Structure 1
Amino acid sequence: MKDRLLDVGWLRIFDAVGRLGSLTRAAQELGLSQPAVTYQIRRVEDQLGVQLFHRSQGGSRLSEPGEALFRAVHSGLERIDEAARDIRRKARAPAIRIFTDYGFAAFWLMPRVADFRRLHPQVEVHIVASQSLEDDLEENADAAVLFGGKDDFPDTARLLMPERVVPVCTPGFLARFGPFEEAAALAKAPLLHLETSGRPRWLTWTTWLAAQGVTREPAQGDLGLNTYSFVVQAALAEQGIALGWIGLVDAFLAAGTLVAIAPEVQRKDFGYWLVPHRPATGAAQALTQWLVDEA
């Protein structure tokens, strides 16, 4: 004879009692009376032939069989709720999530994303930025734009913006500390450093100067900052010379608020890469193609 299948209408009630350890609090959370909650729990116990809770004046504590059932019920409800949220999200206007770092989000993506929204007004766009380039790609992102080398990313990644770096400062800083006719002269000025935990994927002042045949130890007056937005703000405040990534500082160069003061350095196979994440929806495909076209 086949085992009788459990009636599952009690799942929410059982989960609430197990989580809260109280019939009364479970009833309050679910908007039910305590007798109704007690009745449902007893029905399940009758069906299983075991006691699921140890009841006392202090509340209702799960028994050993109750613990086993609670783990299965709670996990199942979480998956059901997540599936329901996903179904509702997809039933609404198409939504896409793109994951990137603060510098790219602030200086490249945000000034342009309004153009995408005008082209696709029905699509909801979510931009998720991280301070650390070592963070994993957010699980629910449709795509990411991340900085690094070709070997840092899967074969499906596409180079959007190659790394091109030029030292920049304000005209006022240049007038006070310049001219900087050679790289060695820059090494004597206050420099602004973009810091990170772990291995930096981008050019640093050490690697930029090395490309010019110059070595330099960190000097008094240098300033280290942990986001590129801070580096740019410090350069605009005339606190030092920054490395300017072409694509991120273009607007400042065009406006003349920052000026390039030394040769550009490029690195092959390094830069911002478009990394697809989950199977692309039509909206996600539209966004990734727009990113490619813009870059």
Structure 2
Amino acid sequence: MLERDDLPPLQSLVVFEASARLLSFTAAAKELNMTQPAVSQQIRSIETALGVKLFARIYRGVMLTDEGHSLLKTTQKHLKELRDALQKLQQKNRHPRINVATDFAFAAFRLMPRLPEFRKQYPNIDIRIQASQSEVDLASTQADVAILFGDGQYQGYRSERLLAERVYPVCSPKLLANIPPIDSMQALSSLPLLKLNLEAGQQWMDWARVFRLNDANTTPPEPVMEFDNYTLLVQAVISGQGVGLGWSPLLDDFIKSGVLVPLEDFAVTSEHGYYMVTSNQQALSDPAIAFLQWIVSTNDKHPITP
């Protein structure tokens, strides 16, 4: 039986939990801001102290042994309890805070313009926005709430659709003023198109699918410019450099103000959309519930079904 002095250091257990969860010493090192050899050394120290193998080394990775699975379950349970206890102590005299994970497009065009309203209603709740251009990794964000674009299928998480995907071409008024009416897909294909580059796994609509859903007999031309960031693409559209794809209601504020013009005749919908995603493993805090109720209330003018 292990005595108190024989217990592995807390840091070693943190390293073990990350390595076991990610099944990669390299990924654990990146997450913990350590080197891969340092992670390997910590794991060897625990295995030596316990006298058991926690990992089986395989080609290009590791897998947990039965003993490793057993220790992971216990470690995750008690690390969570420790984190929760420390968080409660830290926040005892602070405002409650919620972490919201989403992509740059939703954060910039939908969430940030409306956050002053939330803070006015809930002045004692602080919000931390975790925005990413890449697909959000739910396991590593530690977010209380995630607002994600996709099909709503997130294993181990609850999801509720907030906004359905409705897409249409958008351009600036000054671009439209200098061209004939855009009354066909052929006319649309004659315009300079701006493209958003997608990473593997991302499910946003693209020009090829817009043309296909409009039963076009032509394929879209090569884009004149490509962007890895949707915010930059929108700025290029606003400045009159071409036509981009707009997601409703992300760009509604620009359209209502006349900064952008939607080409509604070519609007398309899909089964995808933005979903509110929360963990099945953890009960929602009161601040998180308040935020979810508020974000739904901001959607009253935009039905969640196509």
Instruction: Give the distance between the partners of 2:2 and 2:166, measured in 1 at CA.
Output: 68
Unaligned stretches of 5+ residues in structure 1: 16-63
Matched, 1:216 2:219: yes
Q: Return the alpha-carbon distance in structure 1 between the equivalents of residues 202 and 4 of structure 2.
A: 56
How many residue pairs get aligned? The number is 240
- CA gap of 1:84–1:154, structure 2 versus 1, over 3 A, is closer
RMSD after superposition:
3.5
**SS of alignment partner, residue 177 of structure 1:** coil
Partner of 2:146: 144
Deviation at 1:213, TM superposition (A): 1.7
Aligned partners of 1:137 and 1:144 also within 8 Å: no
Residues 45-60 of structure 1: pairs in structure 2 closer than 5 A: none
Q: What SS does the corresponding residue of 1:174 show, helix, strand or coil? A: helix
Task: Report how far residue 267 of structure 1 moved.
Answer: 2.6
Q: Closer, same or farther in 2 for the Cα pair 1:153/1:268, shift >3 Å?
A: farther
**In 2, distance between residues paired with 1:94 and 1:274?**
20
2-side partners of 1:185 and 1:152: how far apart? 40
Alignment partner of 1:193: what SS?
Answer: strand
Whether the aligned pair in 1 keeps the contact of 2:102 and 2:131 (CA below 8 Å) is yes
Letter aligned with residue 287 of structure 1: F
Q: Distance in 2 between matches of 1:183 and 1:250?
A: 23
Percent of pairs with identical residues:
32
Q: Is residue 88 of structure 1 aligned with residue 89 of structure 2?
A: yes
Specify the alignment match of 2:49 in structure 1: 68
Distance 2:252 2:236 in 1: 17
Question: Aligned to 1:233, what secondary structure does the other structure show?
Answer: helix
- Aligned ranges 1:275-290 → 2 under 5 Å: 275-277=277-279, 278-290=282-294
- Structure 2: which amino acid aligns with 1:113? L
TM-score, normalising length: structure 2: 0.68
Q: So what's the TM-score if we normalise by structure 1?
A: 0.70
- Pairing 1:77-156 to 2, within 5 Å after superposition: 79=79, 82=83, 85-91=86-92, 92-133=94-135, 135-136=137-138, 138-151=140-153, 156=158
- Once residues 3 and 154 of structure 2 are traced to their aligned partners in structure 1, the CA distance between those partners, rounded to angstroms, is 50
Distance 1:255 1:222, change over 3 A: same
Contact 1:180/1:186 (CA < 8 Å) preserved in 2?
A: yes
Contact 1:183–1:262, Cα closer than 8 Å, also in 2: no
After TM superposition, give the deviation of residue 251 of structure 1 in Å.
1.0
- 2:189 aligned with 1:187, yes or no? yes
8 A Cα contact 1:99 1:138, kept in partner: no
What does the per-residue CA deviation read over 1:51-101, in whole Å, with 9 as the maximum and x for residues that have no partner?
xxxxxxxxxxxxx89x739xx9xx99x959745642334423211011000
Query: 1:89, 1:5 → 2: CA distance?
Result: 30
Unpaired stretches in structure 2, ≥5 consecutive residues: 13-44, 51-70, 300-306
Residue in 2 that maps onto 1:167: 169
For residues 174-206 of structure 1, what are the alpha-carbon distances to aligned partners after superposition, in whole Å with 9 as ceiling and x for unaligned?
A: 122342111221112111111111144121111
Amino acid corresponding to residue 148 of structure 2 in structure 1: L
What amino acid sits opposite 2:290 in the alignment?
A
Paired letter, 1:86: Q
Aligned match for 1:267, one of 262, 266, 269: 269
